[in-house]
């Protein structure tokens, strides 16, 4: 008999929502961890996708002002093991959406996969934008 134990924290689902995606609150499947940052005028998204075949299991698309990464992490373990199993690895289809500051040219977007990390670069999406510092005041 095989027993699979998983942990899902309602606190994490409710309060620690991903600021880059509205999909996390409604997602039931795995959501890959991501680092999204500005590098000059480009947006760079790095997603942890270990155990995924990039040629067959990952799709990267630009939909207007959204960068969408879809895919599936397939469970290739054998079920022949006896006894209990503790599994914290999540398998199944995933979707991760990053909202872009402006629409991007899909032909200019590049994606590479190395050592379980997918790196997507959206060039020029921050062109012409300058951060504006806002003064924070305190109540007396």
CATH number at 115 reads: 2.60.40.790
Strand partners, 93: 72
Domain span including residue 28:
2-75+86-122
pTM of the model: 0.69
CA 31 to CA 18: how far, in whole Å? 10
Give the residue, 69 or 82, on which the prediction is more confident.
69
Task: Answer whether residue 128 is part of any domain.
Answer: no
Tell me: pLDDT of 17 over 60.
Answer: no
Share of the chain above pLDDT 70, in %: 74
Task: Answer whether residue 138 is part of any domain.
Answer: no
Task: Answer whether residue 9 is part of any domain.
Answer: yes
Task: Answer whether residue 25 is part of any domain.
Answer: yes
Task: Answer whether residue 136 is part of any domain.
Answer: no
Strand partners, 34: 47
Task: Answer whether residue 135 is part of any domain.
Answer: no
Tell me: pLDDT of 4 over 80.
Answer: no
> What's the total number of domains in the chain?
1
Task: Answer whether residue 107 is part of any domain.
Answer: yes
């Amino acid at each position: 008999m095989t027993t699979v134990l998983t942990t899902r924290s309602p606190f994490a689902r409710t309060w620690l929502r991903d600021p880059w995606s509205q999909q996390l609150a409604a997602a039931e499947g795995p959501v890959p961890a991501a680092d999204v940052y500005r590098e000059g005028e480009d947006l760079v998204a790095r997603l942890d996708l270990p155990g995924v075949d990039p040629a067959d299991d990952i799709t990267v698309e630009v939909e207007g002002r959204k960068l969408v990464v879809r895919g599936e992490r397939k469970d290739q373990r054998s079920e022949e093991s006896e006894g209990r199993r503790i599994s914290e690895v999540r398998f199944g289809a995933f979707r991760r959406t990053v909202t872009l500051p402006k629409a991007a040219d899909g032909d200019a977007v590049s994606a590479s996969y190395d050592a379980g990390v997918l790196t997507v670069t959206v060039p020029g999406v921050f062109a012409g934008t300058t951060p504006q510092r806002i003064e924070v005041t305190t109540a007396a």
